[in-house]
Amino acid sequence: MSEEYAFLGSAEAREALSAQVADVRARPARIAVLFPAAARSVARGPGPSGDPDGVAGPTLEDLVRVELLTALAGALAPAELAREVGDLYRHGDAGERRAVLRGLDVLDTGREELAAVARELLADAVRTNDTRLVAAASASGTTALLDAHSWRQGVLKCLFTGVPLGSVAGIPDRADAELARMCADHALERAVAGRPVPDDVRLVLRHFPEQAARLGTHRTEA
């Protein structure tokens, strides 16, 4: 059996995924059945990150579902694909939604239909307090489609929910003075309240010494 799906530990799981990918390519409507059942029918558990919750990185079932989305993307026209991806997210449970978010990168977002659905799903995920969805949305390369304000709000949501900033797409390249101010404000609020300040806030602040200095001033005054 080919090692095409080497992230799966057994030949049986790779065979099952290969058959399902072929099925979706031949009959795209099958995604509605195969996508929800992927964890049960192919594999589930921690992925390469070792995180069973899928915050630090995709789980095995996420990776399986991304392969199914990749097959779907090759089988449908952009408008149909956008509708199907939106339906998979809206009708899915948290695990299925996380996998859709992890799979947005396989979409050709140069097509406006697909860019629009990606922006919609990213915005929905960041409105939740589910760290699995926030993490998956924030890690997606499709966050490049978001305007600066929306992207900054996503970063701040990661800070509020404890999602590591190291996995956020666009840091440090998109970090700007406004984001640094927001991060410093958040850190200072926590410090004043006697709560721990997440170390990874410095992934942003180290590029903006004036904002980083505000934390140092607080420590000196304390």
For residue 221, what pLDDT band results from cuts at 50, 70 and 90? Answer: very low
Residues 6+ apart with CB under 8 A from 206: 212
Q: What pLDDT, on the 0 to 100 scale, is given for residue 2? A: 47
Q: What is the pLDDT of residue 3?
A: 62
- The residue ranges of every structural domain in the chain are 11-145
The token pair at 146 is 């978001």
**What's the rounded mean pLDDT across residues 111-135?**
97
Confidence (pLDDT) at 217: 58
Look at residue 220 and tell me whether its pLDDT is greater than 50. no
| 156 φ/ψ sector (left φ>0, alpha ψ -120 to 50, else beta) | alpha
Please tell me the distance from the alpha carbon of residue 163 to that of residue 166, in angstroms, as a whole number.
9
Element (H, E) at 124: helix 112-127
Interatomic CA distance for residues 75 and 56, integer angstroms: 30
What number of H helices and E strands is found in the chain? 11, 0
Q: Is 105 helix (H, G, I), strand (E, B) or coil?
A: helix
Q: Are 41 and 20 in contact (CB under 8 A)?
A: yes
Task: State pLDDT tens for residues 21-30.
Answer: 999 999 999 9
Whole-model pTM?
Answer: 0.93
Residues 148 and 180: their CA atoms lie apart, in Å, by 13
Give the pLDDT band (50/70/90) at residue 117: very high
**Is the CB of residue 96 less than 8 Å from the CB of residue 36?**
yes
Rounded CA-CA distance 130/120 in Å is 17
